[in-house]
Amino acid sequence: MRHLMSGPMRAPMVVDFNSVQDLSEMIGKADLNMIRLDLLKCLASLPNMPEILKLNDLSESLYSLDFSSLSGWTLVELLTNCLPEQFSLNGLKGDMNMVSPLMQPITRWPFYAFLGGAMFCLLASSACHLLTCHSQRLSYIMLRIDYAGIAALIATSFYPPVYYSFMCNPFFCYLYLGFITLMGITTIVFSLLPFFQKSEFRKYRASLFFLMGFSGVAPIIHKLILHKHQPEALQTTGYEILMGVLYSLGALIYVTRIPERWMPGKFDIAGHSHQLFHILVVAGAYTHYHDGLIYLRWRDSQGC
């Protein structure tokens, strides 16, 4: 139970094992006897392994380990700290002169920023629908928080594509990130203004969020030009187009009030435009989540 509860606390380290094509050559160049001795010495210092020094054979040592209280993630981290030279392939020449993607993954904060923005948006929307009927004052507050959550979701959705696409080009990376962050803050502030909540501004609200999302076309086109030979660039672009279609379709349904405008009273409980809007937003966020995983695999395996 403890492992099930602690598991989600860390995002999975994504590794592209197809990138390690010269593994046999790497093993052939390595001093396996020295690695064996160092590994035995290292394992002796790990927790939950008091009997390791009594074993002389490495294979017996590994098979005898009790991994029930030591996750694979923790084992990798401990081995990396204990044997930094063996677990970084810096000493090898030629094609294998790179850092193992398993041991040194790229930063995850842009991916976490998107997940945080998505969770804030969905939680704010849930709280709004739950509490807006309490009173006019509370409805006034919750609607503003709801719009702020939508702006946060759109803004943070840019973070993984922009950062991982231009992490090797800091100027464009910070330029795009700064622009979308400023635009997101502006949209949130504008959404908090009282007059913006009036029904006659319904189209303007949707248009503002649509324009903020549409501003992502520039970095996507730039990414395709910069990484036109990378298959990941095309894969991520496909996900991003699908995400944009889902978000845009949701905004269009929200503004036009389809389908209740065609059959008034038939969709008051289920199937009305606001429900369809939320379904499409969740689908867009889920699509973007898979998009971010492709970016992580790409940069973990290749770096800059």
Residue that wins the pLDDT comparison between 16 and 253: 253
Q: Does 168 lie in the same domain as 91? A: no
| 12 lies in some domain | yes
Q: Please indicate, yes or no, if residue 104 is contained in any of the structural domains.
A: no
Q: Is 229 annotated as a binding residue?
A: no
Based on the fold, state whether residues 73 and 163 are members of the same structural domain: no
274 annotated ligand-binding residue = yes
Domain boundary among 96, 120, 136: 96
Q: Are 21 and 127 in a shared domain?
A: no
Is residue 237 domain-resident? yes
Phi then psi for residue 128, to 5 deg, are: -65, -45
Cβ burial of 269 (10 Å; 0-12, 13-18, 19+) is: exposed
pTM above 0.75, yes or no: no
Together in a domain, 131 and 245: yes
Average pLDDT over residues 176-203: 81
Confidence of residue 40 (pLDDT cuts 50, 70, 90): low
Residues 122 and 89 in one domain: no
Same domain, 169 and 285: yes
Percent of all residues in the chain with a pLDDT value above 70, rounded to a whole number: 65
Which domain, by its residues, includes 295?
A: 109-302
116 and 23 housed in the same domain: no
Report the SS3 class of residue 93. Answer: coil
pLDDT tens by residue, 194-214:
777 677 777 777 777 777 878
Rounded to whole angstroms, the Cα distance separating 194 from 149 reads 17
Q: How many domains does the chain have?
A: 2
170 and 263 assigned to the same domain? yes
Out of 143-157, 238-252, 284-298, the most confident range is 284-298
- Domain annotation covers residue 233: yes
Q: Is the pLDDT of residue 72 over 60?
A: no
| Domain contains 159 | yes
* Selected residue with higher pLDDT from 230 and 98: 230
pLDDT (tens digit per residue) in 257-279: 888 889 888 888 888 888 999 99
Alpha-carbon gap, residue 278 to 263, rounded angstroms: 20
The answer as to whether 103 is a domain residue is no
Residue 102 domain-assigned? no
Least confident of 3-17, 131-145, 180-194: 3-17
Distance (Å, whole) CA 183 – CA 157: 13
Secondary structure string (H, E, C) spanning 113-149? HHHHHHHHHHHHHHHHHHHCCCCHHHHHHHHHHHHHH
Q: Is there a single domain that holds both residue 59 and residue 145?
A: no
Same domain? For 189 and 117 the reply is: yes
113 shares a domain with 92: no
Contact in structure between 127 and 145 (CB atoms under 8 Å): yes
Q: Is 129 annotated as a binding residue?
A: yes
In which element (H, E) is residue 161 found?
A: helix 159-165
Q: What would the mean pLDDT of 230-242 be, rounded to a whole number?
A: 93
pLDDT range class, residue 89, cuts 50, 70, 90: very low
Residues 178 and 263 in one domain: yes
Last residue of a domain, one of 96, 126, 157: 96
Is 122 a member of any domain?
A: yes
| Top-confidence residue, 194 or 104 | 194
Q: Among 61, 96, 131, where does a domain finish?
A: 96
What pLDDT sits at residue 51?
Answer: 46
Confidence label for 36 from pLDDT (cuts 50, 70 and 90): low
Residue 214, Cβ neighbours under 10 Å: how many? 13
